[in-house]
Amino acid sequence: MLWSSDGPSTTWCRYGYHCLRADCWFLHPEGRRIDAAARTVPGQWTQHAGARQKNAQVVILRRSLGNLYVLLQLRSFAMPVMPGHLATVGGMRDAVDRDSSITAVREVFEECGLLDVGLVPQAPHNLRQHAQGSGARQPKHFSKFGEGKEVDWWVLLLDGPGTFEKSMDGERECEDISLALPRLPGAEAAECFGHAWVPAWRLHEIAGLPLMGGLLRRVSDAVAAVAHILP
């Protein structure tokens, strides 16, 4: 970090304009790219300028009875990466994906069959048409909020419980999560196979299940990224 000209009690963020931490409390004299990109006007969407050609992970949130829940999956024990772990939705970039926003949309639909994701601007035309006739609702927010070396992190805030159909990859890439529900405080099974809605504020109580690396911090950052539009 750097000291600001206002004295040692005030500090500038070392990453400045390129800072990606949603809850960073340091000063950003030139503003931040993610703040400008995530700003939305009701009924309008903006393309996120920071999307890279990388893999994508998506923190999917919904609000119920005033509380936030996050959609997590129990990965198949046959998966080569993080077998049997509790994780967010996401996966690897395809060569045809323009950037990670496209990867994020595709992976969400393929893994959990969430039709609402077909109503974000980055969705392909055929998925959009399919979603429009399904009763799905346009999500309240979709933006990138963080980066890893080979992955971009996105947050998707639903408007309602979400509309699902049978997914392409769910039963191949996920385990039956029903037996794990007692280990997930306050959780309830989601409509999509292998997934559960878990209270975001109770993730730290999970015991007896391995978590993907950095899960608690990433969910916390995602919640911070949408805090400005929550009632």
For the domain made up of 51-229, give the CATH fold: Nucleoside Triphosphate Pyrophosphohydrolase (3.90.79)
Mean per-residue pLDDT, 165-193 = 92
- Burial per residue of 133-145, b for 16 or more beta-carbon CB atoms within 10 angstroms, e otherwise: eeebbbbbbbbbb
Q: Is the pLDDT of residue 26 over 60?
A: yes
Distance (Å, whole) CA 183 – CA 51: 35
pLDDT band with cut points at 50, 70 and 90 for residue 79: confident
Q: Is the pLDDT of residue 1 over 50?
A: no
pLDDT digits (tens, 9 = 90+) for 93-136: 999 999 999 999 999 999 999 999 999 999 999 999 999 989 99
Q: What is the DSSP letter of 27?
A: B
pLDDT band with cut points at 50, 70 and 90 for residue 192: very high
Helices and strands, number each (H, E), in the chain? 5, 10
- Better pLDDT: 21 or 57: 57
By mean pLDDT, which of 24-28, 54-58, 67-71, 115-119 is the weakest?
Answer: 24-28
Q: What's the confidence (pLDDT) of residue 77?
A: 87
Domain boundaries, the chain: 51-229
Place of tokens 């996105």: 154
Mean per-residue pLDDT, 62-81 = 93
Q: Is the pLDDT of residue 228 over 80?
A: yes
